């Protein structure tokens, strides 16, 4: 094994100060997906975007962190929706060498009784004050490995249980081995962003000579992200026996008991600190996992990434220091109305130009435009809007237009059916209520949408939305939320001030099934009674609300605040700023 320091390999002399050496980094952030920029397609949705945003804020704030994920050569996938509304998927073509640097280090992980070699590519995200934060992308696709092992790092969330188990062993066990090989010796906190990297616990156990399971906990913290059961990996011992190193099998069975391995359980049991991603989600998770020790750190977004150029210019002019201290966005209340409106209309035109280019549909920039874009998972209910089509037309005809986007996981048939439904509705009622679907929702499209629409619609089935982050991106661009009271919105919602709610208060809506029609009716009623009249008849009130969305929501729901919270509550890193 070669011991090299990170600084030796990166030829960028400006950044080569001692402080940037791996030895001085104390936090390692592990995530199955990381979305750092649109050209690196190693993410599928909210989890990856959050990871990228946290990394960016950590770099801006000078937090001594390094990040680890996998290099997916085939990305997630490119979405096409055909004439009939069927989603088709094709692999993403990208060249890691265009954005990342291959390192000479190589480690191996035992899978199915043979050593699989792993190497790493690095991407340096450089924070606003010049502090670099390395992100390591693990890769098995090179000559030393057999063809079947080379493809282990090709697909994000592709393949079967065996494929996933192999990937998670590469991420957890391989990731830690790689960090050691790179010279990281003083990591005090391994942050598991969701359970996927939980096998890090086994490698930590090996490092201490398999002595004390309880001691693993000292070095690990865990963030749980979803109250949807399908979001939690579970591996049977039948599979684990086949794939995992026998020494690890012996210990994982003793650590986890007879039922197989739930990666969430693993994270919960062997972390010194666990958090959920909103206050409501913490409450739901404490019940779900029967554990009192689940804290809440509500998610955020990276402010400068998700603020469109027009608004960034405005903030630069009127709000000193907002870029590295987004809490200052409180001062948005002082922005001149005309300039806010102009910046917004400019972003809207950009989005409508994209719509025209891609769909041939010319939308009107003076018509209230509502956006709905997120992974096409059933619980997000993209089709709730179509519960009563006649009512929808009555309320919206000539007054509202809708823009949809979102990918369904390739195996998610209900998700795909939802896309088909939107497509079909667009055909049926499009002349009264224009509806367009933009293909291939990704970071770039998310930027355009979350700045270019007038209002962001969010109506998941409660309490499934752990947090949600797209609505936070909107608030950075003066786009208000119109949302079910779930996830972050319970904390960000001030009725008639930062946006509007849909459906019952969170206390009223319990975990049990409730009448979904209630949400749909409330949605139509509020559109009719509040949203549409405010937009068309009380424009000054609308702009007043836009400014309050920025001042009250964006100032808080940003990853600078999130990273500071992690430093205080979980990392034990004294926040020193830059
Ligand atoms: C922000 C973002 C998400 C997360 O949005 P939610 O509101 O959590 O559903 C998903 N996908 C992309 C491409 C994003 O940019």
Q: What is the pLDDT along the chain (578 residues), one digit of tens a residue?
A: 333 333 333 344 444 456 678 999 999 999 999 999 999 999 999 999 999 999 999 999 999 999 999 999 999 999 999 999 999 999 998 999 999 999 999 999 999 999 999 999 999 999 999 999 999 999 999 999 999 999 999 999 999 999 999 999 999 999 999 999 999 999 999 999 999 999 999 999 999 999 999 999 999 999 999 887 667 899 999 999 999 999 999 999 999 999 999 999 999 999 999 999 999 999 999 999 999 999 999 999 999 999 999 999 999 999 999 999 999 999 999 999 999 999 999 999 999 999 999 999 999 999 999 999 999 988 899 999 999 999 999 999 999 999 999 999 999 999 999 999 999 999 999 999 999 999 999 999 999 999 999 999 999 998 889 999 999 999 999 999 999 999 999 999 999 999 999 999 877 756 556 678 899 999 999 999 999 999 999 999 999 999 999 999 999 999 999 999 999 999 998 766 55
In-domain check, residue 85: yes
* Total domains, the chain: 2
Ligand 1 atom closest to the Cα of residue 473 is 1
In-domain check, residue 345: yes
CA angle 387, 414, 447 (to 5 degrees): 80
In-domain check, residue 308: no
The answer to whether the CB of 174 falls within 8 A of the CB of 105 is: no
In-domain check, residue 310: no
Closest residue to atom 13 of ligand 1, CA basis: 442
pTM: 0.95
In-domain check, residue 306: no
Q: Is 532 exposed, middle or buried (0-12, 13-18, 19+ CB in 10 A)?
A: middle
CATH number, domain of 523, equals 3.40.50.2000
The CA R_g of the chain, rounded to the nearest whole Å, is 24
Q: Tell me what pLDDT residue 11 has.
A: 40
Q: Cis link prior to 471 (omega < 30° from 0)?
A: no
- DSSP symbols for 112-178: TTEEEEEEEEEEEEE-TTS-EEEEEEEE--STTS-HHHHGGGT-TT-S-HHHHHHHHHIIIIIHHHH
Give the Cα separation of 327 and 325 in Å (integer): 5
Closest residue to atom 15 of ligand 1, CA basis: 443
Closest residue to atom 11 of ligand 1, CA basis: 45
In-domain check, residue 311: no
Residues 267 and 353 in one domain: no
Which residues partner with 268 through β-bridges? Answer: none
The continuous run of DSSP H or E covering 475 comes out as helix 470-475
Q: Tell me what pLDDT residue 228 has.
A: 73
Residues 273 and 340 in one domain: no
How far, in Å, is the centroid of ligand 1 from the Cα of 541? 28
What secondary structure letter does DSSP report for 92? P
Give the Cα separation of 141 and 154 in Å (integer): 8
Residues 567 and 529 in one domain: no
Q: Which structure tokens are listed for 51? A: 């990871």
How far, in Å, is the centroid of ligand 1 from the Cα of 466? 12
What CA–CA distances, in Å, run from 242 to 117, 165, 185, 192, 261?
Answer: 18, 11, 32, 25, 14
Q: Is 46 near ligand 1, meaning CB less than 6 Å away?
A: yes
- Count CB neighbours of 65 within 10 A: 27
Residues 329 and 265 in one domain: no
Residues 284 and 322 in one domain: no
Q: Tell me what pLDDT residue 19 has.
A: 67
Q: How many helices (H) and strands (E) does the chain have?
A: 24, 19
Q: Is 470 near ligand 1, meaning CB less than 6 Å away?
A: yes
Q: Tell me what pLDDT residue 164 has.
A: 97
How far, in Å, is the centroid of ligand 1 from the Cα of 107? 34
Q: Tell me what pLDDT residue 575 has.
A: 67
What residues make up the domain containing 449? 317-557
How far, in Å, is the centroid of ligand 1 from the Cα of 338? 30
In-domain check, residue 279: yes
Q: Which has the closest alpha carbon to 41: 343, 445, 515? A: 445
Residues 359 and 271 in one domain: no
Site to probe by mutation for ligand 1, drawn from 33, 36, 43, 45 as the one with most ligand atoms within 8 Å of Cβ, is 45
For residue 519, give the 3-state DSSP assignment.
helix
> How far from the centroid of its chain's Cα atoms is residue 435's Cα?
26
In-domain check, residue 576: no
Q: Tell me what pLDDT residue 9 has.
A: 38
- DSSP symbols for 238-301: HHHHHHB-HHHHHHHHHHH-TT-EEHHHHHHHT-SEEEESSHHHHHHHHHHTT-S--EE----B
Residues 184 and 294 in one domain: yes
Give the Cα separation of 491 and 540 in Å (integer): 25
Q: Is 456 near ligand 1, meaning CB less than 6 Å away?
A: no
Q: Tell me what pLDDT residue 2 has.
A: 31
Residues 327 and 258 in one domain: no
3-class secondary structure for 415-429?
Answer: HHHHHHHHHHHHHHH
Residues 278 and 382 in one domain: no
Residues 186 and 44 in one domain: yes
Closest residue to atom 9 of ligand 1, CA basis: 374
Residues 461 and 490 in one domain: yes
Residues 548 and 566 in one domain: no
């Amino acid at each position: 094994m070669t011991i090299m320091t990170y600084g030796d390999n990166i030829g960028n002399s400006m950044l080569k100060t001692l402080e940037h050496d791996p030895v001085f980094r104390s936090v390692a952030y592990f995530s199955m997906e990381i979305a750092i920029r649109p050209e690196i397609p190693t993410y599928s949705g909210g989890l990856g975007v959050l990871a990228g945003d946290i990394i960016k804020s950590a770099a801006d704030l000078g937090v001594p962190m390094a990040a680890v994920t996998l290099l997916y050569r085939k990305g997630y996938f490119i979405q096409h929706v055909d004439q009939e509304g069927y989603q088709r998927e094709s692999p993403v073509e990208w060249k890691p060498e265009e954005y990342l640097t291959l390192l000479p280090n190589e480690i191996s992980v035992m899978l199915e009784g043979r050593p699989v070699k792993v190497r790493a590519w690095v991407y340096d995200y450089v924070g606003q004050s010049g502090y670099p934060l390395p992100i390591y992308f693990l890769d098995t696709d090179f000559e030393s490995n057999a063809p079947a092992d080379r493809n282990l790092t090709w697909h994000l969330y592709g393949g079967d249980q065996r494929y996933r188990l192999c990937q998670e062993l590469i991420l957890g066990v391989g990731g830690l081995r790689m960090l050691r090989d790179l010279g990281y010796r003083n990591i005090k906190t391994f942050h598991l962003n969701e359970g996927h990297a939980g096998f890090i616990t086994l490698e930590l156990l090996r490092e201490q000579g398999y002595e004390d399971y309880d001691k693993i906990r000292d070095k690990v913290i865990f963030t749980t992200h979803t109250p949807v059961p399908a979001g939690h990996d579970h591996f049977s011992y039948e599979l684990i026996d086949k794939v995992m190193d026998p020494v690890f099998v012996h210990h994982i069975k003793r650590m986890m008991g007879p039922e197989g391995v739930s990666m969430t359980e693993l994270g919960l049991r062997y972390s010194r600190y666990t958090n959920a991603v909103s206050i409501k989600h913490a409450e739901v998770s404490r019940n779900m996992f029967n554990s009192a020790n689940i804290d809440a750190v509500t998610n955020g977004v990276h402010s400068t990434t998700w603020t469109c150029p027009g608004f960034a210019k405005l903030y630069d002019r009127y709000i000193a220091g907002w870029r590295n201290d987004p809490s200052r966005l409180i001062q948005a209340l002082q922005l001149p109305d005309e300039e806010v409106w102009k910046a917004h209309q400019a972003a809207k035109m950009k989005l409508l130009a994209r719509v025209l280019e891609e769909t041939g549909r010319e939308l009107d920039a003076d018509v209230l435009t509502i956006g709905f874009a997120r992974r096409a998972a059933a619980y997000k209910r993209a089709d709730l809007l179509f519960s009563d089509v006649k009512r929808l037309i009555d309320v919206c005809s000539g007054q509202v237009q809708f823009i949809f986007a979102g990918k369904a996981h390739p195996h998610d048939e209900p998700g795909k059916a939802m896309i088909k439904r939107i497509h079909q509705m667009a055909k049926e009622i499009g002349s009264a209520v224009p509806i367009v679907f933009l293909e291939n929702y990704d970071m770039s499209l998310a930027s355009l949408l979350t700045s270019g629409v007038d209002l962001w619609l969010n109506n998941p089935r409660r309490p499934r939305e752990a947090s949600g982050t797209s609505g936070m991106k909107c608030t950075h661009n003066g786009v208000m939320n119109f949302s079910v009271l779930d996830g972050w919105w319970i904390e960000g919602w001030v009725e008639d001030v930062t946006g509007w709610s849909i459906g019952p208060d969170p206390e009223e809506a319990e975990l049990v099934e409730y009448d979904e029609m209630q949400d749909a009716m409330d949605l139509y009623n509020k559109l009719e009674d509040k949203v549409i009249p405010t937009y068309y008849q009380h424009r000054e009130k609308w702009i007043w609300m836009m400014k309050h969305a920025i001042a009250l929501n964006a100032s808080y729901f940003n990853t600078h605040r999130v990273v500071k919270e992690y430093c205080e509550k979980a990392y034990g890193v004294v926040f020193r700023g830059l």
